[in-house]
Copies of this chain bind each other. A is one copy, B any other.
């Protein structure tokens, strides 16, 4: 997959912990290059993500004829300490990349796992990943790809949508409305200028009470309006289940039963579950920092065999760890 090509910085070791670079230098100087089996496992359960990217790196660097690689699949559930990746190859060929491989798995699995929690809480209601603004742009696309791997329907960043092979999703920012000076005018401008394939979703909390603005926009847009998005700031008490129920009722009473309700703002799995349990009819959730700010899942890489002999550091069990779920990749 083109999107997961390792960067020059990764390949030349710039992103590595310096001690791995030194280790490979020392081993070269000493002329030592055993076939070593390295096993990589997470320190807590979750959804595996980043493995495609890690394998793309390994394919680039391993000597095919002397190497074997086994792995779980992107999106698989994994238990705590379950081996997710096993490499058997001459150590000098891959030792430099331990930092990069663990990092790919750690952050992507953290994101995918948090996304899965939200998706599970939402049941059949779709979840969009909205958190690109909380991570560095260099990983915004990877983050959104991981969110989709974890179960999100789509994402707001263009890069993430490309990696995931889908279309980016979004509504409109408060900026557009502030610049246009009115929510209805902004929504009409959006409608005038955007291709028909993009759903018309109006953000209805900028200037007026959400219920009032929803009706104004619906009256102006009629059947063209796909959804209203409630994103009430904490200064106005966040989006509540009662607000959703009331907007739904007022839209229905005014004949706009076709307009859907999209909820965002400070959502996490627990808050989503609260909405679902409240009986409020939400049609879509947008989740930001709960996914994009998720803690990485630490991965550990241990050598378990050298030139066919079991070995391990204190605290680990020597020899290959049995895991029938692993599939041979290389």
Contacts and interface: CB of A to CB of B under 8 A. Distances in A.
Q: Point out which of A161, A238, A313 has the most chain B C-beta atoms below 10 A from its C-beta.
A: A313
B170 A17 contact: yes
Interface in A81-112: 91, 95, 98-100, 102-104, 106-108, 110
Contacts of A243: 235-236, 315
Q: How many copies of this kind of chain does the complex include?
A: 6
Main secondary structure of the interface of A (DSSP, over half): helix
A190 B303 contact: no
Contact of A162 (B14, B198, B212, B233): B14
A314 interface: yes
A173 B316 contact: no
A162 B54 CA distance: 24
Contacts of A298: 134, 288-289, 293
Given A133-B103, A142-B138, A236-B243, A250 B175 contact: no
A178 B95 CA distance: 13
A157 B168 CA distance: 33
A292 B296 contact: yes
A113 to B, nearest CB: 13
A133 B172 contact: no
19 contacts: A15-B132, A15-B137, A16-B158, A17-B156, A22-B170, A26-B189, A26-B193, A99-B140, A103-B134, A106-B136, A107-B134, A179-B306, A206-B314, A233-B314, A235-B240, A235-B316, A246-B314, A289-B295, A289-B296
